[in-house]
Amino acid sequence: MLKKTLLFTLIFVFVCSMLLENFAYADNFNLKSKSAILMDANTGKVLYEKNSHEELPPASVTKVMTMLLVMEALDSGKIKTTDKVVTSEHAYDMGGTQIYLEVGEEMTVDDLLKSVAMNSANDASVALAEYISGSEEKFVEEMNKRAKELGAKNTNFKNASGLPEDGHYTSVYDMALISRELVKHKNVFKYLTDKIDSVRNGKFSLANTNKLLWNYQGADGIKTGSTSEALYCLSATAKRGDTRFIAVVFGAPDSATRFKEASKLLDYGFANFETKKVVEAGKVYGNIKVLKGQQDYVNAISQNDEYILLKKGESKNIKQIVSLNKYVDAPVKAGSEIGTVKIYDGNNLIKTVSLIADKSVKRTNLINTFEKIYKSWVKNTKSL
């Protein structure tokens, strides 16, 4: 009986110590912000959260979604940075922070996006929204649609700027998801990291509102926001090596607190975790024979970089096992799955990544078959 009691006590103490290890940091934070979250950008894993799904006004952090749709329009070729946007009366009428666009004034997409990212300009946000979707209302529909696609369940945008409006809300978790998608667009960092700049040929100065750019190692985004209702908000990101974290805080009592608490979250992330790239985008992991195809082989590649998140000091006995199909039958479509990479930590499977065909291969025809036979004959003749 004594042995059983002792065993139970030891197990209880062990479990409690593990729980304390995992959650003690939360008590140490003592955050004043209404809600907060720390997310690993590469894996999407949440490392800390406080009221992370509470629906709150995000103020100008809304513009993270606005910038995401702008970047997607740029990357798709729908718009170009050199395009000139004509200011509408609606964009001109925006209050709050602005660059004071005049009705009929032309400004490039590049300068408008710079003004949004650095200066949080509401008029520039609306001008871009109208240029991409025809009206701010249509653009907002796209904002909400895209948010749902990303998994945001506690988000409803009413405008592209973040100005106070009934029913305009999101959560720190949803904003972390949106921020995570934005930072996949490498070209956006040109705007997010620009500290001091100008538009109108140097006549209007811009200063980035994200103070972490000046005093936090690796900080390279993303967006501040504040209104009397939302208080002080921030979506912040920093990268060191392959490791990138996103910290979002809503409802901080003052500007300094939002930066301090975001820094505290990021500090916790970098002190305790690291990201390891386990699969490289575009790398050839082998080739597979194509039966009855116009080409004999296709390469097996990964479409994206793939990462795992490790707690510092934990086991790093990471290994990968590549499994490829023995062959594929033509026709082969580029992007079709033809193998996998399985990532193990010791004997534990922690991630499976699909490998895809790097090109399409059409089914062979009579002419192609004769060409192959002829080329093979010529090759063999030369070797005699």
Given 241, 276, 311, the domain boundary residue is 276
What pLDDT is recorded for position 365? Answer: 78
Measured in degrees and rounded to the nearest 5, phi and psi for residue 90 equal: -65, -45
Q: Does residue 266 sit in the same domain as residue 358?
A: no
d(CA 143, CA 162): 12
Residues 164 and 249 in one domain: yes
What are 40-63's pLDDT values in tens digits?
999 999 999 999 999 999 999 999
Neighbouring residues of 318: CB distance < 8 A, sequence distance ≥ 6: 276, 278, 308, 343, 344, 345
Q: Are residues 266 and 285 in the same domain?
A: no
Residue 13 lies in a domain: no
Q: What is the pLDDT of residues 192-206, one digit of tens each?
A: 999 999 999 999 999
Confidence of residue 313 (pLDDT cuts 50, 70, 90): confident
Helices and strands (DSSP H and E) totals, the chain: 11, 17
Give the distance from CA 371 to its chain's centroid.
Answer: 47
CA distances from 36 to 99, 113, 174, 221 (A): 30, 27, 11, 17
pLDDT computed for residue 314 by the predictor:
77
Residue 217 has pLDDT above 80, yes or no: yes
Select the more confidently predicted residue: 97 or 383: 97
Q: Is residue 21 part of a domain?
A: no
Q: Which residues contact 213 (CB under 8 A, 6 or more apart)?
A: 193, 195, 219, 220
Provide the domain limits for residue 319.
280-382
Q: What is the CATH number of the domain that holds 307?
A: 2.60.410.10
187 and 89 in a common domain: yes
Q: Is residue 19 in some structural domain?
A: no
State how beta strands 327-329 and 306-311 pair. unpaired
Give the number of other CB atoms < 10 A from CB of residue 308.
19
CB neighbour list of residue 257: distance below 8 Å, 6 or more residues apart: 32, 33, 232
In this predicted model, what pLDDT tens digit does every residue of 260-298 receive, in sequence order?
Answer: 999 999 999 999 999 999 999 999 999 999 999 999 999
pLDDT tens sequence across 112-140: 999 999 999 999 999 999 999 999 999 99
Cα 360 from Cα 339, distance rounded (Å): 16
Is 1 a domain residue?
Answer: no
> In this structure, is the dihedral angle defined by the CA atoms of residues 109, 97, 68 and 128, taken in order, positive or negative?
negative
Quote the pLDDT of residue 367: 67
Mean pLDDT of the chain: 92
Q: How many domains would you assign to the chain?
A: 2
Could you tell me if residue 340 is inside a domain?
yes
Question: pLDDT band at residue 87, thresholds of 50, 70 and 90?
Answer: very high
- CA Rg value for the chain: 26
Cα–Cα dist 356/304, whole Å = 10
Burial of 35 by CB count in 10 Å (0-12 exposed, 13-18 middle, 19+ buried)?
buried
Distance CA 83, CA 160 (A): 20
Res. 375: pLDDT tops 90: no
Domain shared by 238 and 374, yes or no? no
Check whether 315 has a pLDDT greater than 90. no
What is the rounded distance in angstroms from the CA atom of residue 25 to the CA atom of residue 21?
8
145 part of a folded domain: yes
CB contact at 8 A, 307 and 276: yes
Active site residue 63: yes
CATH number at residue 157: 3.40.710.10
Do 99 and 217 belong to one domain? yes
Q: CA–CA separation, 132 vs 110, rounded Å?
A: 14
Q: What is the pTM of this model?
A: 0.86
195 is catalytic: no
Strand partners, 342: 321, 352
Shared-domain flag, residues 190 and 227 = yes
Per the residue annotation, which of 34, 50, 63, 158 is the catalytic one? Answer: 63
Mean pLDDT of the region 228-255: 98
Judgement on whether residues 238 and 316 belong to the same structural domain of the protein? no
Give the residue from 276, 306, 322 where a domain finishes.
276
For the chain, how long is the longest CA-to-CA vector?
87
Is 120 a known active-site residue?
yes
**Domain check: are 127 and 226 in the same one?**
yes
For residue 71, pLDDT over 60 is answered with yes
What pLDDT score does 18 carry? 42
Same domain, 163 and 310: no
Sign (positive or negative) of CA dihedral 53, 54, 55, 57: negative
Report pLDDT for 382.
65
Q: Which one is catalytic: 33, 35, 60, 302?
A: 60
Active-site residue, selected from the candidate residues 33, 35, 52, 120? 120
18 within domain boundaries: no
In a domain, 4, yes or no: no
Residues 186 and 257 grouped into a single domain: yes
CB 108 within 8 A of CB 85: yes
Cβ pair 41, 244 in contact under 8 A? yes
Residues 301 and 235 in one domain: no
Tell me which DSSP letter residue 360 carries. -
Last residue of some domain: 251, 276, 301?
Answer: 276
pLDDT of residue 378: 65
Rama region for 148: left / alpha / beta (φ>0; ψ in -120 to 50; rest): alpha
pLDDT of residue 19: 40
88 pLDDT more than 90: yes
Q: For residue 336, what are its two tokens? A: 């079709």
Q: By percentage, how much of the chain surpasses pLDDT 70?
A: 88
